[in-house]
Amino acid sequence: MQRGTIVVTSLTMLVYHASHEQFAPSRLLRLAIAAEQAGFSAIHSSDHFHPWSVRQAESGFAFSWVAAVLQATSLPVSMVCAPGQRYHPAIVAQAIATLSEMYPDRFSVELGSGEALNELITGTAWPSKNIRNERLLECATVIRKLLNGEKVTYHGHINVKDARLYTLPEIKPLLFCCALSEATAEWAGSWADGLLTTAGATKDVIAKKAKFEKGGGKGKPVYAQFSFSYATSKDEAIEGAYQQWRSNLIGVEKLDDLSTPEQFDQLAE
């Protein structure tokens, strides 16, 4: 089963979603190259420490992989990133700056509040959604300041002391926000350069886009991620979706309680 991303603006572009949970990094690199040859306009990468299911059985390091894709293709590349727990925002800023210096105007990041599945490997407490959003905004602010060449000291949900980036890109990359709900989309409109959201019914995407614009995001790009099961027959497509992505049926309200692929598999049975 594949995922695709579509930009919901007056100009629509088709983006290939690279799912690290499903494919080994070497194979995923070949798929990204094939996506460019097939006419996709850009590459988008997930960023997981754990896959959603033991059956998926992969989970490469996205920042390393993105560098390879930027070198191997001529397309714009973006990736999801959740700073604040698994990643310190200063390290995220350094990674963004390095990739953007090497590949000008081709790399962007969608910042999110994270999933327990990936973040709880640190052994620290999992905050409430409100606290995670506060932390996300703090991280985005710190990352922007560092990308602007500022020396940053900050104390809050995250702590930074005397941090400054000495390698800076000539063209500053866009910092999007990942948002699943209308409320988060509206909040993101005030600070993010664009929005990435999941797509179910078309009316839901339109509603989240409207909320994003209401919050200050009017005129900014909106990406909607659609999921497709691609196979040579309908039966194979259904079986592939069931084997790879039945964890998608788990309600959002339960995600905070699940921190391992085994737990997702057990609940999705």
Asked whether 49 and 86 are in contact (CB, 8 A), the reply is yes
153: part of which helix (H) or strand (E)? strand 152-155
Question: Dihedrals φ, ψ of 83, to 5°?
Answer: -80, 155
- Ordered by start, the domain boundaries in the chain are 2-268
Distance CA 238, CA 110 (A): 30
* Contact predicate 133/105, CB 8 Å: no
Which of 125, 35, 107, 12 has the alpha carbon at shortest distance from 67? 107
CB 10 within 8 A of CB 254: no
Q: Annotated catalytic, 48?
A: yes
pTM: 0.91
Q: Judge whether 115 counts as a catalytic residue.
A: yes
* β partners of residue 42: 15
Catalytic residue among 17, 20, 44, 48: 48
Q: Give the pair of three-digit tokens for residue 76.
A: 């714009």
Decide: helix, strand or coil at residue 137.
helix
Catalytic position from the list 21, 110, 115, 182: 115
Residue 5's pLDDT is what?
A: 47
pLDDT in tens, the chain (269 residues): 455 444 444 457 899 999 999 999 999 999 999 999 999 999 999 999 999 999 999 999 999 999 999 999 999 999 999 999 999 999 999 999 999 999 999 999 999 999 999 999 999 999 999 999 999 999 999 999 999 999 999 999 999 999 999 999 999 999 999 999 999 999 999 999 999 998 877 888 999 999 999 999 999 999 999 888 889 999 999 998 888 888 877 888 888 889 999 999 888 88
pLDDT given for residue 4 in this prediction: 47
* CATH 3.20.20.30 corresponds to the domain 2-268: yes
Both structure tokens of 20: 């690290």
Query: Contact 41/11 with Cβ under 8 angstroms?
Result: no
User: In this predicted model, what pLDDT tens digit does every residue of 79-108 receive, in sequence order?
Assistant: 999 999 999 999 999 999 999 999 999 999
